[in-house]
Structure 1
Amino acid sequence: MDDKLIERYGDELYEALITRTPVTPLTEREPTVSIADAYRIQLHMVERRVLAGETIIGKKIGATSKPVQERLGVHQPDFGQLTSGMIYREGQPIDLSGLIQPMAEAELAFVLKYDLIGPGITAMDVIRATDYVVPCFEVVDSRIADWNIKIQDTVADNASCGFFVLGETKGDPRKLDLTLAGMVLEKNGEVCATGAGAAVQGGPANAVAWLANTLGALGIPFKAGEVILSGSQSALIPVADGDELVCTVGGLGTCRMTVSRKEAVWLAR
């Protein structure tokens, strides 16, 4: 795909983000679009966000677990870039009206103490480089109409990034069994999903290592201080006005999310 088309679709997705106007799937209009093309589109879309004043603060892995892959109809992981406009802290009001068709997922976030530069990174390298882990929610959103996506569509759309919130309870990954730790997701007081770290490519640290190696081969490092979202351990849960979601990770802690269309207050404990 030539540079003009890459820029055209990257600009289109950025405008869809700003105006909350979903677009027709790229794969319907450009059936030959490759995953490599889609990542170039993603980079241009993210560049527009940076030019508008945001900064890159981390990376995310998407579509790592089977429930999410089945829900989205994709069958391989992807990645996106996290910006300063996506992160929310405890008690900070959030207006969901800036999203189009949000869904929440529970996962584990890694905050790095040291740089990680692939390829050749192992799960143990990830553990050594991590400052701490926290339970978190990611609220994904698609600028593609009706979530009618193939892998190229979600990749181009920055892995369907919406925003994310980090729980306050920090855990030392050297003292936790991240693979076997259970996760329970409740919505409005009812358990709606359970999982474990092993559901994410055999363990969250494995998923982070995969991403470090994938990006390293492209010349993109993980930097100290960055947040890495390791991939959903739950099914995707639609969110609406007044919903309260709680995820609990065994041995680590709980992250609570209360949503309102007018205002959302994120609480972690």
Structure 2
Amino acid sequence: MNSRSNAEALALRLRESERTRQTIAPLRDDERFTHLNAADAAQFAYAVQQINVEARVAAGERVVGRKIGLTSPAVQRQLGVAQPDFGALFASMAYGDSQPIPLGELIQPKVEAEIALVLEHDLTHEKHTYADLIRATAYALAAIEVVDSRIEGWNIRFVDTVADNASSARFVLGSRPVLLRDVDLAACAMTLSNDAEALSRGNGAACLGNPLNA
């Protein structure tokens, strides 16, 4: 099998996992990955991801953004990586503030607090300056991401989550847009709570020092 065929086989495995809501073994243990060095494995994982992005678009879905994962140094150490990853966000994943999410459609969801940047202009360069990013951003929103993994027991490493569209599942956008000049992205904080019980707290600086770095 050539590289494209190999990627398509793994992409199909992930699609079937999502459709049936049955987890699969870590992809990194598949023979298609085990002979690759780290750089080639990452490239191959993104090829798997892209095949499934194209499949969803072909089925009528719409890409509305990107998510950036592995932005916490602690999580990077846990997975043995030194870089973030990214995945595609689709309109079908989007929920509004206080809109119920049917978790029965997911496999093993987890919730993460996020800062969303809504762009007014495309980012077209390989490397961007802060001025480029600020100029391109229309506003920021508080957001919640519901991540999910098709990999059994969340037993993931870098290539597993990359191939699995960065473990994307659902996201919720807040409804109060804030201009960047009116918020300190690094200092702004969020508390995640269940009723009155605080479950976790964090701020923008936990995202590589500043969300714009991500």
Q: What TM-score, normalized by structure 2, do the two folds share?
A: 0.90
Query: Quick check: 1:63–1:74 contact (8 Å CA) kept in 2?
Result: no
Structure 2 residue aligned with 1:32: 35
CA distance in 2, matches of 1:202, 1:105: 17
Q: Would you tell me which structure has more helix in proportion to its own residues?
A: 2
Percentage identity across paired residues of the two chains? 45
Question: Displacement of 1:119 after TM fit?
Answer: 2.0
Matched letter for residue 149 of structure 2: S
CA distance in 2, matches of 1:87, 1:106: 15
Cα offsets for 1:15-56 (capped at 9, x unmatched): 111111111111112323500000000001111211221011
1:163 pairs with 2:164: no
Matches within 5 A, 1:49-60: 49-60=56-67
Structure 2 residue aligned with 1:10: 11
CA distance in 1, matches of 2:112, 2:74: 11
Matched letter for residue 48 of structure 1: A
Matches within 5 A, 1:108-147: 108-147=115-154
Matched letter for residue 85 of structure 1: S
* Runs of 4+ off more than 6 Å: none
Cα offsets for 1:117-152 (capped at 9, x unmatched): 122311232112111111000000000111111100
CA distance in 2, matches of 1:94, 1:197: 25
Structure 2: 5+ residue stretches without partners: none
Q: What TM-score, normalized by structure 1, do the two folds share?
A: 0.72
Query: Quick check: 1:140–1:161 contact (8 Å CA) kept in 2?
Result: yes
Matched letter for residue 103 of structure 1: K
For the residue of structure 2 that corresponds to 1:205, the secondary structure is: coil
Q: Which has the higher contact order (CA 8 A, sep 6+)?
A: 1
Structure 2 residue aligned with 1:61: 68
Structure 1: 5+ residue stretches without partners: 208-269
For the residue of structure 2 that corresponds to 1:5, the secondary structure is: helix
Structure 1 residue aligned with 2:79: 73
CA distance in 2, matches of 1:117, 1:20: 36
CA distance in 1, matches of 2:80, 2:180: 30
CA distance in 2, matches of 1:69, 1:194: 19
Aligned Cα root-mean-square deviation (Å):
1.6
